[in-house]
Amino acid sequence: MSEEHTSDTSTPSPAEMLAITERQQQRAERALDINPGLLFGVWGAAWVLGFGELYLTIGDDPVLLVPLWQALGIFFGCLGVAGFITVWHLANSLRGLRGPAQKSGAMHGWSWTLGFVALGALIAATSRMGISEEVYAMLWASGSGLLVGVLYLSGGALTGSWTQYGVGLWILAINAAGAFTGIPNHYLVMSLAGGGGFLVAGTVLTLRARAKPSPSHERLPGEPE
């Protein structure tokens, strides 16, 4: 009698094992996506400020008289801060994970930094061919939009998030359309439509996360403490 009782309490049933597996998967998904609204908000602020500043300082009749190198420095600073926060956030979200999920998330996080480093190197090499300042500026604006759009597409595919995937499609669409408006109008499109789109998505996700009931942490039968 006692042996049967010990076996029943120490060995979970198949249904309990399935519930434990599903609970662990949900925990892994939450760890991978702690606060997506934060990332959308960070990139939204960076684009609104960075591209907005370029629109006001670059062109035939700029609103603010700022040297080109200084204007680009502010723009790159905004993107750099957003990229650093993105890598830091993804790294923190992966601390409690092991195995393929950790590896995939880390690779995706580093792709942001490596992508912008490669983009900078390619544009620097292109500038040595004697291109005009307007073409140089367009390469940075459209190249950054293309890279961020593709990275959000891959992030949405990695996490199964239609929100991220949809934002990636939106960025690619407005980036392509804005490029036909030329400089500095392309900056205005990227600032308002691009940065504004990020901020709207971030706000929606943050409100949705707050309205969602917190998951129960009750231990299932057979689940280790």
pLDDT (tens, 9 = 90+) of the chain, 225 residues, equals: 444 444 444 566 666 666 666 565 555 555 455 577 888 899 899 999 999 998 998 867 778 888 878 888 888 899 888 878 877 777 776 665 555 656 666 676 678 778 888 988 988 888 888 888 788 888 888 998 999 899 888 888 877 788 888 989 999 999 999 999 998 899 999 999 999 999 998 888 888 877 765 544 444 334 444
How high is the pLDDT of residue 190?
94
The reported pLDDT for the residue numbered 75 is: 86
Report the pLDDT value the prediction gives residue 163, as an integer from 0 to 100. Answer: 82
What pLDDT, on a 0 to 100 scale, did the predictor assign at position 220? 37
Dihedral sign (CA 26, 214, 93, 12): negative
> How far is it, in rounded angstroms, from Cα 199 to Cα 201?
5
- The confidence score (pLDDT) of residue 8 equals 47
State the residue for tokens 């040595």. Answer: 128
Do the Cβ atoms of 140 and 175 come closer than 8 Å? no
In 3D, which of 105, 56, 115, 107 has the Cα closest to residue 82?
A: 115
Sequence-ordered alpha helix ranges (H) in 65-131: 68-93, 100-127
Give backbone dihedrals phi and psi of 29, rounded to 5 degrees, phi first. -65, -40
Residue 170: per-residue pLDDT: 94
**Cβ neighbours of residue 205 under 8 Å, at least 6 residues apart?**
36, 37, 40, 163
Interatomic CA distance for residues 190 and 195, integer angstroms: 6
pLDDT of residue 172: 95
Closest CA to 32 of 94, 84, 122, 75: 94
pLDDT recorded at residue 7: 45
Can you spell out the DSSP letters for 10-60? Answer: HS--HHHHHHHHHHHHHHHHHHHTS-HHHHHHHHHHHHHHHHHHHHHHSSS
pLDDT at 48: 95
pLDDT, residue 52, reads 93
- Of 92, 72, 83, 73, which is closest to residue 112 (Cα–Cα)? 83
